[in-house]
Structure 1
Amino acid sequence: MQRNTLKPLVGALALAGLIPLTAAAQAPRPEQIERVEVIGSRIKRINIDDETATPITLITRDEIQRSGVATTRDLLETLPGFNSNSLSDLNGGNSFGNGGSGASLRNLGKQSTLVLLNSRRIAAYPLADYNEVFSNLDSLPVDAIERVEVLKSGGSALYGSDAVAGVINIVTRSSFQGLTVSANTQKSLKSHQFKDQAAAITGGIGNLATDGFNILANLDYYHRGDFFWRDVLQYSNPAYKEFSPGFDTPSSYSYPGNIIGQGPIAGCKLFNASNTLCMYDRYDRFSVQPSADRVSGIVSAKLKMSEHLQGFSEVLYSNTKNTYQNAHNYYGAGLGSVVWGDPNSNAARTFYYRGLPAQHPLNHTGEEVEFRYRFSDDGQSNHVQTDQYRVLAGLKGDWNGWDWETAAGVMGGKTTQRQRGLFSDSGFKEVIGDYNKDTLDADFFNKPNGYKIGQPNSAAVLDKLFPSIGYDAKVTQSFVDGKISGEYGRLPGGAINFAAGFELRHESMKIAPDALSASGDIVGLGTVRADAGRSFSAVFVEADLPVTQQLNAQLAGRLDKFPGFAAHFSPKLALRAQLVPEFMLRGSVEGGFRAPNLTESATSSKSAFDNGVSDPKRCDAASALIRDLIAQANALPDSDPNKTLLQARADNIDECRRGVASVVRNNPGLKPETSRIVNLGLAFQPFKSFSTTLDYYAVTRTNEIGTKGTADLLGAEAQQAPGTIVRAPDFNNDPTFVTAAEVAKYKPLAGRLSLVSGQFENLAKTQTSGIDWSMNGQFSDPLGRLALSFDSTYLLSYKQYSTSDLRYGDNLAGRWGYARFNFKLRASQEWGSWTHTLSYFWASSTTLTKDYYDTTWNVEDCAKNKNLTADQCKVATYNRLDYNLAWRPMKALTLSANLRNLTGRRPPIDYRNFGQGGIIPDNREDVMGRMLRLAAEYRFF
């Protein structure tokens, strides 16, 4: 029967509280089966396993338990579409986003993948990774997860900004009754390292139907220990040593130091007679993985207030601590110089490594001499602690066939990061000396109350030289949302389902470096600063239209309004054609967008540095000078001291490989990134126990927010605004062309380059396409029940736009970092109280080359310059087999053992990532070997 056209309006007024719910309530709904909302639609449905018009991957509770993982990030890494370029707290110590883990799908970055918890957003991680704002997966406890829903297409039409590459919805347990405890522990069977432990307790009381309430609480603890490469280096691939002679060798930058040409300083504990230098085992301090301690808790409650009204609330809290350690700071003239940007003055600063002055008591050469040293007392460490939370409460109910829900909440987080081990420029000059002078002061490295080489130093001196620095970061967000859904009218195929809703949000972010970092006093340190807030809102609508019994359409649209640009509309059209019961075709086209975040558009700044910059106005002139210097050196006999000086000068000229300071500002005029996402696919279920899906996707993202590369800016220097490129005003005191005669002869076109300053812009675009293929089957056999699953993705194309050449580059599929094909194959056999699960992971090989501009790491370059074979000049195929055994000796107890990498196979070597002269394996899996995780779960009642 056709519904009254006023009913949606009445429902909306009831939702807003303008009409009393008691007055709006009608007779109970005839549909008594509970409907649930699944990612990809705001319309609730009964069966979450039904194939929809857009491809969705579900990871169930059983799959989570059989995967042998301890963290949410580990779980998502088992997805074929999950990219290695997403941030992990394992390597976060070398990023601006210390201590956090993000998610990236479709190679489009962690800002284009939206992470939801129970279909609502979570607050961003307080520290931005430079300009990337992301959700921290480490704040979500894996033991509390009921299922994970992954929407493989964009979702901006329903979920708003950031849902370009896909949406990951993590759904926690609900309506749980009883008490369950679980624990697990892991270590490598090869090295007995890579240890971690986790424990959780989950309890719930009350039955919503009979008691009128349910309260669920989960507490989760995770610990990961740290260790160093010396503990496991003996298990590394011998090929590393064959490629890099420096692999597994000590360093001459040691304690108490070496005076080059004179010998080691007295007191050296590690002496290598073969080269007469004091040596240091840096692998004793190269960390394989940081330590981590995480405590997470979720409390949710439901209260049945009437037959048509229910209250609910949810509290999430997590505390994460990470400690990163690395080799102690080292010092020596052979290290050249360090260039970084002063975030206040937009000027470049340069630190020069100098030797010991002629007057130093340890120097017996009579002139400034090279000195190599290791500051073993620098207190090197990096501690990151983050507290994150989300608190919400709401009401939901039904009115005459319409479901409605509204909620309000606050969320946020605070990160405190403190590290030591980096030089303070002012502190270095105070306790060691001024390195800028042509002739060093006699007390350089020998001040009366300064730093003493190879001797105990006071805490006051060390605090000046290596101060505690870091960030205090905070994010907050408050929201109110509401939605309503139900049937409205009919079409030949059945009832029309309709949903509509709104969101109101306010967010703020403050990232504050300490005073010394903010002033540019810390040598070589890049910084991020932000202090801004904004309010934004959205409305969305969705309609599920059964055009015929065989054809279903989904229409959706969302209007988002952020400050700084006009309201943005994201549309979606999806079709689902069930031609026969066993076969379905589907397709969708939708628009996506990402609003500029607060570090890009609002008050903020970033300072960093670029290495290996070639200055087009000085490189050719410097190259000619280098050739002449080498020719002059070659003409001299080896006994002539000027020969060494000429060669050293030629080696130190860096105009074609210079380190340049970089300062980037926010841009309030930024537009949102936009995208168009197309999906075409089919689902085939020839019989009840087996189904397969095949889906093609294509994403075009435009208006990508970024900064112009230094090479692009220098290539069009005349067109840049004043202050974008900062150079020395003349050739006075020029370190490369040291005389007026050299300036006249070689004709450099400009003074020394010191800093490049820019701002975020809408610059680039990306195109990517591929095919997702999955199969699922469940079969009965003489031993019990066998379940098979196959999930894969094949990258057809990935192209990035060049802002300098104004064209798309090469197809990167199959090149470095972009594997064409990867899949996960899983077989699970249930036999009485035993369950056996095999999981096989595979990724295709890639070349080592990048885009069209990359002339290195091809087969010719590998053979000519790197002594690598054609097989070594690629990242070989990756494959890994895992085995999980679960046993239920009684109904309440489950014991399991998970063997990761059953065959003990090494991962392939990535020689490009390892680098020429590399000293650390490029992949920690190389020394893992087989990993054993033991777990137990007991349900008391």
Structure 2
Amino acid sequence: MKLKPLARCLVVVGLGAHAAAWAQEAQKIERVEITGSSIKRLKDEGALPVQVITDKELARKGITSAEQMLRQLGVNGTGADNATSNNNVFGAETDRLTGGTANANLRGLGPGSTLVLLNGRRVSTSGMSGGAVDLNSIPMAAIQRVEILKDGASAIYGTDAVGGVINFILKRDYQGASVSLDYSTPFESGGGQQRKASITGGWGSLERDGYNMMVSLSLTDNSILRGSDRDWASGFNPALGLSPNSSSSPFANIITGTGTALGSGSAVAGSGDAVKFTRINLLSLQGACDQVTNGVQFQPGLWTPASASAATKAANYASGRYLCNTDYGSQFMLAAPRKAENLVARSTFRVNENTEAFLEITASRNRVKAELTPAQFSTSASTGTLYPVNGPYYLNLKNYGVTDFDPTKPIAYRWRAQDFGNRVIENVDENSRLLAGLEGDIGAYSYKLGASIAGAKGYSNLIDGYVYTAPLVSALSQGLINPFVAPGQTQSKAAMDLIESMKARGRLQGGETTLQQLDGSISGDLFRLPAGMVQFATGVDLRHETYEFAPNADGFNCISTLGTGARDVLLCPGNTAVPKVSRNIGAVYGELAVPVIKNLDLQLALRHDQYSKIGGTTNPKVGFRWQPAQMVLFRGSYNTGFKAPSFQQLSPNTAPRDYTGTWSDPVRCPTDPTQCSIIGLDYTDSGNPNLKPEKSKQGTLGVVVSPFADFNAFADYWRVDLDQRIRKLTVTDVLNNYALFPNRVQRDANGNATLVEAGWINAADSTTRGIDWGMSYQFKHSTGTWLANLTGTHMLQAKERAFYGQPLLDYVGKFSTRTLYLRDKLNADLTWSRDVWSATLSTVYKSGYTDQDMSAKGVLPATANTRVASYTTFDLFGTYSGFKNTTLTVGIRNLLDRAPPFTHHDVDDVAGAGWDPRVADPYGRTLAVSMKYDFK
């Protein structure tokens, strides 16, 4: 791979400096490498904005997973990066390949902009999407500490480090054995139990025996929590502006159709209205929509914009007054069921006094079941699925005052098929890495060499609720399944057996990523200046990455209508195939730590990355540390960064989607009224082979003060400016800005729109800035030792636009569909310890925000609250270590049983009916118990 002259110079400078000082001998001092720098230095020298969280801190707060840890941190964005938020097939920005994963999202810049390391080296991204590391693959039972760099680091680590770096560091030289058991259960009845068991063993002392071996295995088993388990999890609260917007019901709605019983609509006797109603439900006529499970009355007023024409308002009234709907809030999954296994084994050998060799193996398997609401569909003459006149369950609405109903004709209906069960998909993610390396000193210099092979496989299995459409069409055409099951009644056994026989089960789709990496670096003293020694590091990083994605492994053909193909499956999600693709990355970097004057140091770094199919990019970083007095320290940095597009974003897939909104074609509407209200337009979410890396400019400026012993406080201003931002151009973006994207709308011979081409583009710019702050104080008292910590992030601005030509809009404190930029997030904890006792009270605060603007979709009632309230929870944990070799921790999460704040957002845009899983904890008050036994 060719390297630019600048890159070659970095290697020459680094090696030349190494050779010039090779003969120098220095007194051996224990040095450590800090995340964000390749230079080993004395532990107390660094002043980077790095937050360190130890395993002991995690244990005393009852945190057992990486996802739990990150959800409490202000620096981590409030995004749809968890299994619950990703459990959605709706939404223009929904990624159907991230189900079951948990991702980091520093600064809210997206999971692909946060670099996740294990012991300072990369791990493979998730096998399904290939876009980010699944945090479930991190072996938390063997983690000694977590270092979070809250600054861009492309000049050190390359791509993905725009938002920052999270480095999980394994236990080192561990000896002995321990077993730990963790269990939690909500106080309120229902699901949501979480179980984890871990065993860790280590033997051999590097210092005494010349070797150390450690093995750790953990097992996780979490139960599902459903909306039906919580009273607040309702999608039906019209007084506050929340009501379902689908047109399906557990008791089917009868709809219009040529040659069908309802024809073009009917008057209803006793309604006091001469309107021809176009969708009619018997239960709604009787005021009894809620008499069937999850049934509710449709609210046409909430889904009719005030600006709509009189004709539109009349049409919505005619189609909605006697329409029943489904409260899908109680059907939604609030927390996913999960089973996981994590294994890590590490062997370290002392080759000689100055050299260590190590071999590290990690492996994990994470299985998460996603549940979606039961399938909904409409029958029609064209699909041959009208309910036949002679069917055993024929419903004659003429007997109930529907005057124009014709019982001599078949019935067209729309049905939420609850008897088919929730749609369940099992998402499996398997990860592994084999790493071998050498670390040591040669004279006054430290070096690192590593070679690794990592891979991830992800796949989805259809478990329940999905059916083959061919037998379904046959059954519907014969009227063998009852879409009009009355309250208190059930389907016949024959019908349920028939439904069970047509279910599709098996492998839906799968993907695989691999990462082969060879890296090496050397660091040490370079030469002395009057203010001190200049230190350097230089290194190389060579990687080979691959990705492939194969849909329909068992031959499923996912369709959105009632087809008759032998392998057609109704409404299963999927993307098109990505044949195996690969790329090579070569990088060289150099770094200097320069003491300018006493107590003023500079960090200078430069890295060049060359991608085989994208091109090259060079990124510098300049940082400073100035400590004019013992009690105060100033720090800051400026750097550029980049994020390379993922393989999925680059691949020209053409996964079909269905746009459920209404669009008026600006080209055809003036001459053809049928093109003024187009519903159900098809579109594709395509990758883009011409994507370029996303570019960033960013910096920090901060101060740390310690006016008296055991107290310190800090504040860091930060800013990230992005350009050519990699963003999904949604179908709504295209349709609402047709003048900018006319070529993305395909048309037939008559000029009518047939397909919209959405997908990934290098979009416009964004600016994100804020202040990280915190303080800590430890003091000893006759009652014990007390430690108080308080950290937070205050967002100043999050301006972005989808593409040039639009104004920059600030999203801080406002609803958005992927990441919420909350004005303030903070967490605080107070820990007391004495002898064998300790206790920690912690709190997490997330500020409120303006709820989704529904004016374009409907009218909120005067009683609706347009602002989502802030969310504060308290946890209390106590630990006792007085039993022999045993540590017992008991605590209560969400001590005050704070329910999620209410939001009326459209569930088609963001998962969660009446609540937002990006913000809130659905479990409620929860008992958590942890026991650890150390074998000695």
Structure 2 residue 454 is matched with structure 1 residue 401? no
Q: Which residue of 2 aligns with 1:64?
A: 58
How far 1:28 moved relative to its partner? 7.6
How far 1:514 moved relative to its partner? 0.5
- Indicate how the Cα distance of structure 1 residues 421 and 754 shifts in structure 2: closer, same or farther if over 3 A, else same: farther
Q: Give distance in 2, aligned partners of 1:122 and 1:772.
A: 28
Q: Residues 756-835 of structure 1: matches in 2 within 5 Å? A: 756-758=756-758, 760-803=760-803, 805-810=805-810, 812-813=812-813, 817-835=820-838
Q: Residues 143-292 of structure 1: matches in 2 within 5 Å? A: 143-191=141-189, 193-230=191-228, 232-234=229-231, 240=237, 242-243=239-240, 252-254=249-251, 275=288, 279-281=292-294, 286-292=332-338
How far 1:918 moved relative to its partner? 11
How far 1:537 moved relative to its partner? 1.1
Structure 2 residue 358 is matched with structure 1 residue 312? yes
Q: Is the 8 A contact 2:126 2:456 kept in 1?
A: yes
Q: Which residue of 1 aligns with 2:82?
A: 88
Moved more, 674-683 or 775-784: 775-784
Structure 2 residue 554 is matched with structure 1 residue 557? no
Q: Is the 8 A contact 2:763 2:802 kept in 1?
A: no
How far 1:491 moved relative to its partner? 1.5
Work out which structure has the larger RCO, using CA pairs closer than 8 Å and 6 or more positions apart in sequence: 2
CA displacement 1:436-477 (0-9 Å, x = unmatched): xxxxxx757699xxxx98553698986666464511211111
CA displacement 1:86-145 (0-9 Å, x = unmatched): 4212343324212211110112111111111111111000111xxx71100011132211
Q: Which residue of 2 aligns with 1:75?
A: 69
Q: Which residue of 1 aligns with 2:595?
A: 546
- Indicate how the Cα distance of structure 1 residues 11 and 413 shifts in structure 2: closer, same or farther if over 3 A, else same: farther
Q: Give the partner amino acid of 2:185.
A: K
Q: Is the 8 A contact 1:898 1:932 kept in 2?
A: yes
CA displacement 1:823-873 (0-9 Å, x = unmatched): 1111111122111111111122211256xxx8569xxx9xx633335xx21
Q: Which residue of 2 aligns with 1:836?
A: 839
Q: Give the partner amino acid of 1:295.
A: E
Q: Is the 8 A contact 1:188 1:928 kept in 2?
A: yes
Structure 2 residue 5 is matched with structure 1 residue 44? no
Q: Give distance in 1, aligned partners of 2:623 and 2:922.
A: 47
Q: Which residue of 1 aligns with 2:387?
A: 356
Q: Residues 499-898 of structure 1: matches in 2 within 5 Å? A: 499-514=537-552, 516=555, 521-524=568-571, 525-531=573-579, 532-602=581-651, 604-617=653-666, 655-656=676-677, 658-714=679-735, 724-730=744-750, 750-751=751-752, 753-758=753-758, 760-803=760-803, 805-810=805-810, 812-813=812-813, 817-849=820-852, 865-869=860-864, 872-890=865-883, 892-898=885-891
Q: Give distance in 2, aligned partners of 1:136 and 1:917.
A: 21
Q: Secondary structure at the match of 2:924?
A: coil
Q: Is the 8 A contact 1:612 1:658 kept in 2?
A: yes
Partner of residue 388 from structure 1, selected from 407, 431, 454: 431
Q: Give distance in 1, aligned partners of 2:610 and 2:911.
A: 49
Q: Is the 8 A contact 2:103 2:111 kept in 1?
A: yes
How far 1:283 moved relative to its partner? 7.7
Q: Secondary structure at the match of 2:649?
A: coil
CA displacement 1:41-77 (0-9 Å, x = unmatched): 1112332x6551x311111122111121221111111
Q: Give the partner amino acid of 2:454.
A: M
Q: Is the 8 A contact 1:701 1:767 kept in 2?
A: yes
- Indicate how the Cα distance of structure 1 residues 534 and 370 shifts in structure 2: closer, same or farther if over 3 A, else same: same
Q: Which runs of 5+ in 2 are unaligned?
A: 1-10, 89-95, 256-260, 269-282, 295-327, 397-406, 483-489, 560-567
Q: Which residue of 1 aligns with 2:341?
A: 295
Q: Give distance in 1, aligned partners of 2:430 and 2:910.
A: 40
How far 1:620 moved relative to its partner? 6.0
Q: Which residue of 2 aligns with 1:935?
A: 930
User: Could you say what the CA RMSD is over the residues aligned between the two structures, in angstroms?
Assistant: 3.9
Q: Give distance in 2, aligned partners of 1:588 and 1:373.
A: 56
Q: Give the partner amino acid of 2:212.
A: N
Q: Give distance in 2, aligned partners of 1:717 and 1:414.
A: 39
CA displacement 1:569-588 (0-9 Å, x = unmatched): 01100011111111111111
Q: Give distance in 1, aligned partners of 2:685 and 2:371.
A: 29
How far 1:287 moved relative to its partner? 3.1
- Indicate how the Cα distance of structure 1 residues 171 and 234 shifts in structure 2: closer, same or farther if over 3 A, else same: same
Q: Give distance in 2, aligned partners of 1:93 and 1:276.
A: 27
Q: Which runs of 5+ in 1 are unaligned?
A: 15-23, 263-269, 338-350, 434-441, 626-652, 731-749
Q: Which residue of 2 aligns with 1:102?
A: 103
CA displacement 1:501-557 (0-9 Å, x = unmatched): 111111111111106556755444452432311111111111100111121000001
CA displacement 1:579-629 (0-9 Å, x = unmatched): 11111111110001001221122464443333325233279669x96xxxx
CA displacement 1:209-261 (0-9 Å, x = unmatched): 1100000111111110124333x2346699947537869x9984259999999
Q: Give distance in 2, aligned partners of 1:802 and 1:252.
A: 36
Q: Give distance in 2, aligned partners of 1:696 and 1:917.
A: 31
Q: Give distance in 2, aligned partners of 1:327 and 1:179.
A: 45
Q: Give distance in 1, aligned partners of 2:195 and 2:807.
A: 50
Q: Which residue of 2 aligns with 1:346?
A: none
Q: Give the partner amino acid of 1:416.
A: Y
Q: Is the 8 A contact 2:191 2:226 kept in 1?
A: no
Structure 2 residue 474 is matched with structure 1 residue 431? yes
How far 1:785 moved relative to its partner? 1.0
Q: Is the 8 A contact 1:914 1:922 kept in 2?
A: no
Q: Is the 8 A contact 1:481 1:504 kept in 2?
A: yes
How far 1:313 moved relative to its partner? 1.1
How far 1:766 moved relative to its partner? 1.2
Q: Secondary structure at the match of 1:764?
A: coil
CA displacement 1:408-457 (0-9 Å, x = unmatched): 11001112211155767862686357xxxxxxxx757699xxxx985536
How far 1:387 moved relative to its partner? 1.5
How far 1:289 moved relative to its partner? 2.4
Q: Report the identity percentage.
A: 25
Q: Give distance in 1, aligned partners of 2:621 and 2:575.
A: 40
- Indicate how the Cα distance of structure 1 residues 835 and 353 shifts in structure 2: closer, same or farther if over 3 A, else same: farther
- Indicate how the Cα distance of structure 1 residues 313 and 428 shifts in structure 2: closer, same or farther if over 3 A, else same: same
How far 1:811 moved relative to its partner? 5.1
TM-score normalised according to structure 1 size: 0.80
Q: Give distance in 2, aligned partners of 1:704 and 1:238.
A: 35
Q: Give the partner amino acid of 2:536.
A: F
> Size of the alignment, in residue pairs?
828
- Indicate how the Cα distance of structure 1 residues 706 and 92 shifts in structure 2: closer, same or farther if over 3 A, else same: closer
